[in-house]
Structure 1
């Protein structure tokens, strides 16, 4: 993939998945704006990319507000003369069960993930439409947004909203040649390290260099941030010009396409449905095979 003469913004790219995305884009030839709330971490990321021969600058700003989004786009234009790719990766966690989740827990996560994705995508779309040469918007979703997850009301809601916004943008931006797609990554990061089933494997990988077990890479599609980065480069490239409105899972050895929500069973009653009629019909018609919910716990073979 050759991304020469393309400029990209990657939010939350000082470390973890975001840095893997930015570094991979730079290796493919793109100029990259690194974003983090910590100037030292952002500066180190820029240093690593430029030391490897890439082009990168930093914009230290917390994602969420329109002002932050405008600053990120302006930084790309100032440094590289244009913007071709917006990757909205920035995120935080404030996990609590419903009855213990505060307004602040909810608002902080929604502000960073959902509002931050919206404001950055909007600012990018304005610039890309002005340039008149198309562009790429790549958002970050999660299995939690597709299926729900215990203790993640805020995070799951934000990620589900991002998937819906991404599909909407694919419709709205098609005429301008701008694609919009969502990543559904599963990788060893600070966030997934909080999951008990993943934690010991991530610790062994990061502290002792022990490769992730094959069952985890294949059956669970769980790998390193670098395993995910190839999808970002592909979606940013000319090769993906016809790919839009999709939620694409990647991790470890696994690449997957998530289905869009759709009706899976229907029933009809002349004149409409009363509560009693629904109660009679539910177990033998539309409710005969209810949909699953939640993310299944990872389990090693034979466990």
Structure 2
């Protein structure tokens, strides 16, 4: 597999997961447009790629506005001659429970994650279609968008929406040979670093030590590098037949998330009146109600950390 001659944009790639994605794409031969809101961070990210023998350039701008999407695509084409790959990774968090979440908390997260994904993909897909490039669109989702999570109304809505858009784009872009997929990473990030449950794994990663098998294999929780291989694979010609999928990856585990499907189907002649539902719902639908949120097994004693 090689990405020689390919050009990629990775939003939110100044550090963390986004930087790991950009570095792996560059390692496989792609030229990369780095994006971050901080100029120093973006410059440092570019330097890591160039120091390793790769090619990169930075666009310092917040993701969300159409003008940023246009600048990203324009920079890729002007600097490297084309655009083949877009990875939409940029994101922010404004976590709080529903009754405390402000309009700004909601709009900020939706603006960066959901609108930012839409504007960047629209711009990239327009360019790819016009230039007959069988491009790769890779959007970053989250388990929160698949399952929900306490305190993350805005983030859950955005990440669920991204997967919905990806499935739609897979249909709309198929004729042009452009694939669209969502990656659901499970890895040590700034967010998981604050969760006591993951403390032992985050500590090991920060120290450059292997994560305990409980996390890597049991939970499918790993490092940024554990995710970046899937990004590069989906960006390659080898994955030309993969589109419209939501693929989870982390640690030693990879998962294919299903499309939502009915788990129970029942019929009532004449339709479902209030009375019919009261009488029959518990025995038909009620016994198969779905769980919400992620459920984690208890930590082994040796991985327990005191709460701050």
Instruction: For residues 214-247 of structure 1, give each alpha carbon's deviation from its aligned partner in whole angstroms, at most 9, with x where no partner exists.
Output: 0100111000000000000000000000000000
Does residue 142 (structure 1) correspond to residue 146 (structure 2)? The answer is: no
Q: Which residue pairs with 2:240 in the alignment?
A: 241
Instruction: For residues 24-70 of structure 1, give each alpha carbon's deviation from its aligned partner in whole angstroms, at most 9, with x where no partner exists.
Output: 00000000000000000000010010010111000001000111111
Quote the Cα distance in structure 2 between the aligned partners of 1:144 and 1:232.
20
Quote the Cα distance in structure 2 between the aligned partners of 1:230 and 1:21.
8
Quote the Cα distance in structure 2 between the aligned partners of 1:91 and 1:194.
17
Quote the Cα distance in structure 2 between the aligned partners of 1:158 and 1:135.
24
Quote the Cα distance in structure 2 between the aligned partners of 1:222 and 1:280.
44
SS of the aligned residue for 1:9 comes to strand
Unmatched runs of 5 consecutive residues or more in structure 1: none
Written as runs of structure 1 = structure 2, the 5 A alignment for 1:1-303 is 1-206=1-206, 208-297=207-296, 299-301=298-300
Quote the Cα distance in structure 1 between the aligned partners of 2:298 and 2:39.
39
Q: CA deviation at 1:201?
A: 2.5
Task: Tell whether the 8 Å contact from 1:197 to 1:297 is kept in structure 2 after alignment.
Answer: no
Using a 3 Å threshold, how does the CA distance of structure 1 residues 49 and 298 change in structure 2: closer, same or farther?
Answer: farther
Instruction: For residues 139-161 of structure 1, give each alpha carbon's deviation from its aligned partner in whole angstroms, at most 9, with x where no partner exists.
Output: 01000000000000000000000
SS of the aligned residue for 1:62 comes to coil
Task: Tell whether the 8 Å contact from 1:216 to 1:300 is kept in structure 2 after alignment.
Answer: no
Task: Tell whether the 8 Å contact from 1:97 to 1:153 is kept in structure 2 after alignment.
Answer: yes
Quote the Cα distance in structure 2 between the aligned partners of 1:291 and 1:87.
32
Quote the Cα distance in structure 1 between the aligned partners of 2:180 and 2:300.
37
Q: CA deviation at 1:282?
A: 1.2
Using a 3 Å threshold, how does the CA distance of structure 1 residues 197 and 298 change in structure 2: closer, same or farther?
Answer: farther
Quote the Cα distance in structure 2 between the aligned partners of 1:43 and 1:53.
15
Quote the Cα distance in structure 2 between the aligned partners of 1:83 and 1:16.
23
Quote the Cα distance in structure 2 between the aligned partners of 1:271 and 1:103.
43
SS of the aligned residue for 1:197 comes to helix
Q: CA deviation at 1:194?
A: 2.2
Q: CA deviation at 1:298?
A: 5.1
Unmatched runs of 5 consecutive residues or more in structure 2: none
Quote the Cα distance in structure 1 between the aligned partners of 2:298 and 2:46.
38
Quote the Cα distance in structure 1 between the aligned partners of 2:96 and 2:127.
38
Q: Tell me how many residue pairs correspond in the alignment.
A: 302
Q: CA deviation at 1:169?
A: 0.1
Task: Tell whether the 8 Å contact from 2:222 to 2:250 is kept in structure 1 after alignment.
Answer: yes
Task: Tell whether the 8 Å contact from 1:24 to 1:233 is kept in structure 2 after alignment.
Answer: yes
Quote the Cα distance in structure 2 between the aligned partners of 1:152 and 1:80.
38
